[in-house]
Amino acid sequence: MTDMDRADLFSLYRQMLLIRRFEEKSAEMYALAKIAGFLHLYIGEEAIAVGAIAALRPDDYVISAYRDHGHCLARGSDPGKVMAELFGKATGLCQGKGGSMHLVDLPKRFMGGYAIVGGHIPLAAGLAFASKYQKQDLVTVCFFGEGAVPSGQAHEAFNLAALWKLPVIFICENNRYGMGTPVQRAVALYENVAEAARSYGITAERVDGMDVLAVRGLMCKVVDQVRAGQGPYFIEAMTYRFMGHSMADPSHGHYRSKEEVEKYRKRDPLVVLKETMVSQAQCSEADFKQLERDIADVVAAAVKFADDSPFPDPASLHADILVED
């Protein structure tokens, strides 16, 4: 294994660790009432955002649902601005008007988090339509949970994307629960939710969403095909949410057992990658400790930035409703 390969693995690990520690800190900040409203943590699912986005170019489009911190951070957004948005501060990515579920970072081509389940999937088809229309070789990656798959808007978007061979990659993060309802009580073909896309002629593939290298490996292949104009693709990434649905939901709740959560925690994406790094890249405990310290500093700086930032001026209430001529 070359130094470059090691650096690559560290980079993936670092991004996942950033998301993990950022989310843990967000939960803390929620408990301190620094963050309010809905807060949906990405803990346990980090390998999907990091692996998928690692296969993209900076000018490709990324769009997500309401559990969007991980995608935004993986796209390279400034953790301070993300945290400031969660705090509702003027320095947040969206100047405090979006919040946790509606992060947007246009320079990073992160086109937003959306909180009506299934409602952003047609937007993804539209982003892809625009790049095809303008003859740009961009791809659009659209993240959503398995809970969105049976929605009408998802199906309408799958059909349009397939019909017009749009360069969009649908990534279904199958964490097995839509809020507290398990997939087998929500999706008729629950053992193979990708059939929803296949029924429109979209090629679909399942991947271990706890293995960042597997996700990235599949995505590199898929991105090339989609960029080459072969039409949309559907990836079902099998994962698990280690925390509750939102902060209102304890880590396992009534709808799943502690044992089940513990079982999936053994496949923690950080642990999975770390094992590979130790066994195949001779990474040492000291390396990981250093990384932990670095990330702790980044997250602490993000919190400090958010904390020190001002709330928006009430005068900004009416700004940016419309584009003024």
Partner 1 sequence: MLLSYREALNQAMREEMRRDSRIFLIGEEVGYYQGAFKVTKGFVEEFGPQRVVDTPITEAGFTGLAIGAAMAGLHPIVELMTMNFGIVALDQIVNNAAKIRYMSGGQLSVPLVIRGPGSAAHQLGAQHSQSLEAWFCHVPGLKVIAPATPHDAKGLLKSAIRDHNPVIFIEAQLLYGTKGEVGDGEYTTPLGQAEVKREGADVTIVAYSKMLLVALEAAEQLRREGLDVEVIDPRTLKPLDLETIVTSVTKTGRLVIVEEGWRFCGLGAQIAESIYSAAFDYLDAPIVRVTGEDVPIPYSRPLEDAAIPDVPRVIAAVKSLCGAA
311 in contact with partner 1 (CB under 8 A): no
- 21 touches 297 (CB < 8 A): no
Q: Which residues pair with 237 in a beta bridge?
A: 173, 207
Selected binder of partner 1 within 73, 127, 223, 261 (CB under 8 A): 127
Instruction: List the x/- string, 128-167, binding to partner 1 by CB under 8 A.
Output: xxxx-xx-----------------xx--xx-xx--x----
State the angle between helix axes of 3-31 and 46-53 in degrees (0 to 180), rounded to the nearest 10: 130
199 in contact with partner 1 (CB under 8 A): no
Q: Closer CB to partner 1, residue 19 or residue 142?
A: 142
C-alpha dist (Å) from residue 313 to 11, 81, 310: 38, 17, 8
Other residues' Cβ atoms within 10 Å of the Cβ of residue 316: 13
122 in contact with partner 1 (CB under 8 A): yes
Contacts of 259 (CB under 8 A, 6+ apart): none
Q: Which residue has the tokens 């937007």?
A: 123
Q: Closer CB to partner 1, residue 61 or residue 233?
A: 61
Quote the least distance from Cβ 170 to partner 1, whole Å: 13
106 in contact with partner 1 (CB under 8 A): yes
82 in contact with partner 1 (CB under 8 A): no
DSSP letters spanning 48-84: HHHHHHTTS-TTSEEEE-SS-HHHHHHTT--HHHHHH
Contacts of 12 (CB under 8 A, 6+ apart): 50, 51, 54, 212, 213, 216, 273
Binding part of the chain for partner 1, among 30-38, 91-99, 184-192, 233-241 by CB under 8 A, reads 91-99
Quote the least distance from Cβ 115 to partner 1, whole Å: 8
Contact residues for partner 1, defined by CB under 8 A: 61, 63, 92-98, 102, 104-106, 111-112, 114, 116, 119-131, 133-134, 152-153, 156-157, 159-160, 163, 319-323, 325
